[in-house]
């Protein structure tokens, strides 16, 4: 259903784009947003237009486009110079965009309109954005946190025990052969696998989690590659966004995925009696952050700024969370109140996010991991020139999966098509000859 919706949304967006192209002079009334799929409450987009009109007296038309992979979005801006007004990269991509001068500072002067950004963003998010290494530029001036979460293992409780799921070694567990999906996000997979493989060094204090997040040495890449190639013998495939569906339909039992996807799938599965769960393995993992930025090729900076501001309004943040399963960067009391659920059994220490009084809150621990879980997670960083080596490793790992039979079928199909084309050409010639 979501796929169909996304398709319709993308088609509608494309149509709006065409309309926009027809009237070039209207570009200043168009807001081009480029966001992850399944990452917003769609009604919020319509409401933004009304709110923007109220605040500024100006009309705005939204073109909303979707991506599934950070690098695809980055390439459109870095190489394609596409004129998106606002996009939503992850932490390590924000780092790269800062280093490569691809984004502009976000001016927070909204005149009479309230500034929902400052004062509502959780101090935890601000601290983490301070750690984004922008070569002298502070990420908090150029990016505003949207959602965040962890990378972990979603599992089906009928087939997988919590112990089996609580180690990254599950990716090598023969018991789940053909029932594992891995997120098609090289950076989000590389980090946790490296943490797992370097677990002894971490325990012995030879390296810290943060240092590992910068490690893209040949030796580490080779270790991860070997581990993933072994894992590949067991996996059913790589997924950019269909892992949730595979899990709810019990076509897969294990999914290396993001916490928000897991929350959405757990909820969906529950309604059909399928029990899914999610854990951040004991060895540690990534904690990731996505934020709104304004690329330097943007054509409607004003609407982009207002849109980012609107996304930070606590009621809008809660609605986006409820629609997607992901967790907003907004840490205001309204959000804490909306997300506290007395019917839950667990108490979670979320003081790092909501402040001192929140050290024992009945709240969803997958969305808001306990402080002890966050302590074994670290943020990803851009690998600079080494990104190519990482991408090549990822391609080698995934490429081997390209079945020889698939190649054979493609070649045969191509030959058949060529043959058909030749025969119909000959017939045409003959017909022309007879005339």
* Joined tokens for residue 70: 């950070």
Residue nearest to ligand N2P according to CB distances in the complex: 36
Per-residue binding letters, 222-261, with ligand N2P (x by CB under 6 A): -------------------x----------------x-x-
- Closer CB to ligand N2P, residue 303 or residue 327? 327
**Burial label, 111 (beta-carbon count in 10 A; 0-12, 13-18, 19+):** exposed
Query: Which member of 31, 32, 36, 215 binds ligand N2P (CB under 6 A)?
Result: 36
For residue 311, state whether it binds ligand N2P (rule: CB under 6 A): no
Q: Which helix or strand (DSSP H or E) is residue 180 part of?
A: strand 180-183
Relative to beta strand 235-239, strand 30-36 is unpaired
CA dihedral 334, 338, 340, 343 (to 10 degrees): 160
Pairing of the two strands 235-239 and 180-183: parallel
Nearer to ligand N2P, 60 or 74 (CB): 74
Asked if 348 is part of the footprint of ligand N2P (rule: CB under 6 A), the reply reads no
| Residue 300 is a binding residue for ligand N2P (CB under 6 A) | no
Site string for ligand N2P, 128-167 (x = CB under 6 A): ----------------------------------------
Q: Which stretch binds ligand N2P (CB under 6 A): 31-39, 77-85, 160-168, 212-220?
A: 31-39
Options 84, 155, 253, 288; binder of ligand N2P; rule CB under 6 A: 288
Min. distance of Cβ 90 from ligand N2P in angstroms?
5
Indicate which single residue of 34, 38, 364, 373 sits in contact with ligand N2P (rule: CB under 6 A): 38
How near is the Cβ of 432 to ligand N2P at its closest, in Å? 54
Q: Per-residue x/- mask for ligand N2P, residues 61 to 100, rule CB under 6 A? A: -----------------------------x----------
Segment near ligand N2P (CB under 6 A); pick from 32-40, 197-205, 377-385, 401-409: 32-40
Q: Which is nearer to ligand N2P, 185 or 228 (CB)?
A: 185
Which residue, 183 or 198, has its beta carbon nearer to ligand N2P?
183
State which residue, 39 or 306, has the beta carbon closest to ligand N2P. Answer: 39
The SS3 of residue 276 is strand
Q: Is 268 in the site for ligand N2P (CB under 6 A)?
A: no
Q: Supply φ then ψ for residue 322, to 5 degrees.
A: -65, -35
- Cβ neighbour number for residue 390 with a 10 Å cutoff: 18
The residues pairing with 65 across neighbouring beta strands, listed in sequence order, are 34
- Nearest Cα to Cα of residue 187 among 94, 277, 66: 94
Q: Contacting ligand N2P (CB under 6 A), which of 164, 215, 239, 290?
A: 290
List phi, psi (to 5°) of 229. Answer: -65, -35
Which DSSP category does 177 fall into?
T
Which residues make Cβ contacts (< 8 Å) with residue 178, sequence separation at least 6?
234, 235, 236
Size of the site for ligand N2P (CB under 6 A): 10
Q: How far apart are CA 142 and CA 105, in angstroms?
A: 4
User: By C-beta, is 65 or 90 nearer to ligand N2P?
Assistant: 90
Span near ligand N2P by CB under 6 A; candidates 36-44, 57-65, 76-84, 272-280: 36-44
What tokens were used for 225? 């590659």
Q: Whose Cβ is closer to ligand N2P: residue 223's or residue 323's?
A: 323
DSSP, residue by residue, 115-166: --STTTB-HHHHHHHHTS-BTTB-HHHHEEEEEEEEEEEEEETTT--HHHHT
Q: Determine how many CB atoms are found less than 10 A away from the CB of residue 175.
A: 12
Contact 238, 252 (CB under 8 A): no
- Cβ(298)–Cβ(31) under 8 Å? no
- Identity of the residue, 260 or 365, whose beta carbon is nearer to ligand N2P in the bound complex: 260
Query: Residues in the site for ligand N2P, rule: CB under 6 A?
Result: 36-39, 90, 241, 258, 260, 288, 290
């Amino acid at each position: 259903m979501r796929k169909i919706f996304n398709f319709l949304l993308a088609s509608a967006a494309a149509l709006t784009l065409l309309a926009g192209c027809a009237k070039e002079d209207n570009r200043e009334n168009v807001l081009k947003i480029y966001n992850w799929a399944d990452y917003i409450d769609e009604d919020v987009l319509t409401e933004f237009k009304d709110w923007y009109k109220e605040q500024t007296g100006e009309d705005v038309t939204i073109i909303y486009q979707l991506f599934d992979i950070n690098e695809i979005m980055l390439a459109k801006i870095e190489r394609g110079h596409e004129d998106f007004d606002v996009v939503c990269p992850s932490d390590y991509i924000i780092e790269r965009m800062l280093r490569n001068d691809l984004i502009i500072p976000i001016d927070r002067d909204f005149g009479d309109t309230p500034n929902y950004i400052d004062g509502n963003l959780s101090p935890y998010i601000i601290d983490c954005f301070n750690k984004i290494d922008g070569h002298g530029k502070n990420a908090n001036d150029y990016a505003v946190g949207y959602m965040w979460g962890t990378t972990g293992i979603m599992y089906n409780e009928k087939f997988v025990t919590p112990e089996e799921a609580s180690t990254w070694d599950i990716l090598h567990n023969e018991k789940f052969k053909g029932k594992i999906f891995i997120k098609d996000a090289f950076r989000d997979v590389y980090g946790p696998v490296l943490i797992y493989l370097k677990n002894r060094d971490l325990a012995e204090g030879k390296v810290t989690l943060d240092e590992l997040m910068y490690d893209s040495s040949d030796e580490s890449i080779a270790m991860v590659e070997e581990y993933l190639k072994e894992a590949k013998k067991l996996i059913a495939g790589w997924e950019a966004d269909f892992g949730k569906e595979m899990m709810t339909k019990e076509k897969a039992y294990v999914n290396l995925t993001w916490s928000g996807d897991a929350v959405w799938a757990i909820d969906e599965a529950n309604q059909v009696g399928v029990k899914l769960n999610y854990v951040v393995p004991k060895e540690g993992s990534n904690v990731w952050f996505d934020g709104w930025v304004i690329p330097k090729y943007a054509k409607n900076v004003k609407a982009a700024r207002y849109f980012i501001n609107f996304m930070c309004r606590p009621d809008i943040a809660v609605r986006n969370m409820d629609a997607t399963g992901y967790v907003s960067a907004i840490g205001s009391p309204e959000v804490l109140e909306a997300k506290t659920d007395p019917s839950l059994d667990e108490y979670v220490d979320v003081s790092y996010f909501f402040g001192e009084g929140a050290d024992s809150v009945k709240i969803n621990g997958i969305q808001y991991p306990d402080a002890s879980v966050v302590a074994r997670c670290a943020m990803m960083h851009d690998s600079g020139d080494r990104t190519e080596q990482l991408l090549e490793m990822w391609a080698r790992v995934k490429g081997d999966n390209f079945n020889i039979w698939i190649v054979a079928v493609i070649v045969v199909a191509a030959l058949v098509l060529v043959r058909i084309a030749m025969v119909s050409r000959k017939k045409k010639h003959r017909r022309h000859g007879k005339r």
